Amino acid sequence: MIEVKNLTKRYAGVTAINDLSFEVGKGEIVGFLGPNGAGKSTTMRILSSFMPATAGTASVAGYDVFKQSLKARRHLGYLPENVPLYTDMRVDEYLHYRGSLKGIHGRKLRDRIVDVKELCNLTDVERKIIGTLSKGYRQRVGLAEAMIHEPDLLILDEPTIGLDPNQIRQVRDLIKNLGKRHTILLSTHILPEVEMTCTRVLIINKGRIEASDSPANLLAKLRSASEVTIEAQTGADNGGDQLSAIAGVKEVTLQPGEDDWKKFILRVDASSEIREEVFRMAVNRKWNLRELSRSRATLEDVFVEMTQAD
Amino acid sequence: MRVFLTLLGREVRSYFYSPIAYVVLVFVLLLTGFNFSAGVSLLNRGPSEVTVLEAFFNTVLFWFGYVLIFPLITMRTFSEEFKMGTIETLMTAPVGDISVVLSKFFGAFIFYVILWIPSILYFVIFEWITSAQAARASGAYFGSYLLLLVMGAFYISVGCLASSLTRNQMIAAVISFASITLLFFTGLLSFIILNVSPVVRDLIGYFSAIEHMGEFSRGLIDSRPLVYYLSMTVLMLFITLQVFQARKWRS
């Protein structure tokens, strides 16, 4: 659905994206991640034919976004970052206007307006002027507008920014549902959202692709895939020495605790399970144990590891 | 074509969503109303060579107000889209650049035409009440309103060009006001500098809106001003299109 080859964009000397190549297949929901200024919005703007690239090619639904821009745009619904809307129009009026711009008319358009209003929970504000709506409603008006012509591809730039937790959940469910019929490329900073909705993650940093894989695979690959937290009174023992001797433990860090409680954070291989062994050791050495827990790395850890400047 | 009509519909309606439309409407109504009654009372004082129609279209007050209209109705055409960011949703929909530029131009033009409709009523009412002629012949009506249309088209295209240059409406208004006034005053040069050769005077006369209106309101319809205004309109719109497309590359 999307094909990007060696895409580069320079603004007045600054390279926003550098030699970017990736593909998005039909039916995928791809999360586009990266720190602010990494080039996410620029890439999305090029894909939606809003600005031309400096070098390289990109195509949407088989049409080059620059040479066959009108055809490419017909297959695309795009929600820009700040959700620009005509604040002087009513919701219904706006959806009608945008629908006919995108080439649907008459009864079909009326049906679609009813559908998208229902999908995005806009029916109760259909007669309101957009300028008077709250951020959350505006966001959903933008989303409704982006999908009004049932595009093959939806490009959503931070679709959940400015929404409250309930609305975020609604939009997330909406995106999941849309994913059954549409291909979706979305950017966001809310990482749990990506883990829940996306089939694939693209991480971009300083204009380059750092990773492209399913959320599960990315987590498995991560160095700090798993952590075990232990809080114990180790008595005469130092604790750290004994724990690092356990097979599979890569690193032990000691955090100061209250009284003589010590808190150890163990980095372990994602595959190995060491909690039982820690427990036996504690019994044998007469340690008092009050916490023994394991936490999985989250996408956030992956993100931080891949994009932090080192 | 359908896309163009959709865009045009939105352009024309958007004038009436904003208070600017009503302010301009009231302003033009007051101006033309005052101008008309001043013209009629002037003719009341004694016999005169000019008709009501000629008096209406050839006063200082008329021209003063006339050049003010254009910055007001064109300043928002492109600037507002740039400022609000709606240009991004607009240009990522399947619409061509030409349709967008033409819809902005014709949207402003239609609003401009609406502004002048009430003034036609003045003459209808005048003739109805006084049962006297307000013009030398019906051709004079036709001529003055025809010129009003083509001249308006040209000044609106100048305004659109100014608006496509900036995201700030005030700057757009100042640019269009300055250029339209400058164009207008070029035509006045022959009134100010008296000792020029007849050739230069003729040349300036070709650009003079006042001279054009003087002729057309007498019913003298000359094709040269029509060609001049229409071709300049096309040229301005062509430049606007280039500026609008170039924006993409600069950003």
- Enumerate the residues of chain B whose CB falls inside 8 A of the CB of residue A145: 89
Q: Which of B2, B18, B93 sits opposite A98 (nearest CB)?
A: B93
Please check the confidence at residue B251 and state whether its pLDDT lies above 60.
no
Residue among A44, A61, A31, A5 nearest A212 (CA):
A31
Mean of pLDDT values over A167-179: 84
* Chain A interface residues (partner B, CB cutoff 8 A): 11, 45, 48-52, 70-71, 73-74, 76, 78, 80, 82, 84-89, 97-98, 100-103, 105, 145
Percent above pLDDT 90 for chain A: 27
Span B217-245, average pLDDT: 93
Q: Which percentage of chain B shows pLDDT scores above 90?
A: 50
CA distances from A187 to A22, A73, A138, B189 (A): 15, 19, 18, 60
- A295: pLDDT confidence band, cut at 50, 70 and 90? confident
Contact B95 A48 (CB under 8 A): no
Residue A275 has what pLDDT?
85
The answer, yes or no, to whether residue A185 has pLDDT greater than 90, is yes
Q: Give tens-digit pLDDT for B5-39.
A: 999 999 999 999 888 889 999 989 998 999 888 88
Residues of chain B contacting A87 with CB distance shorter than 8 Å:
84
Give the closest-approach CA distance of A147 to chain B in angstroms: 12
Instruction: Give the nearest chain A residue to B250 (CA atoms).
Output: A11
Tens of pLDDT, residue by residue over A99-134, are 999 999 999 999 999 999 998 888 999 999 999 998
Which pLDDT score is estimated for B201?
Answer: 77
Would you call B88 and A100 a contact, using CB atoms and an 8 Å cutoff? no
Q: Chain A contact for B249, CB < 8 A?
A: yes
> Residue B237 — pLDDT band, cuts 50, 70, 90?
very high
Phi, psi of B187 (to 5 degrees): -70, -20
Chain B residues near residue A50 by CB distance under 8 angstroms: 88, 91-92, 248
Could you count the other beta carbons within 10 Å of the beta carbon of residue A243?
22
pTM of the model: 0.85
Q: Among B14, B85, B251, select the one facing A88 at the smallest CB separation.
A: B14
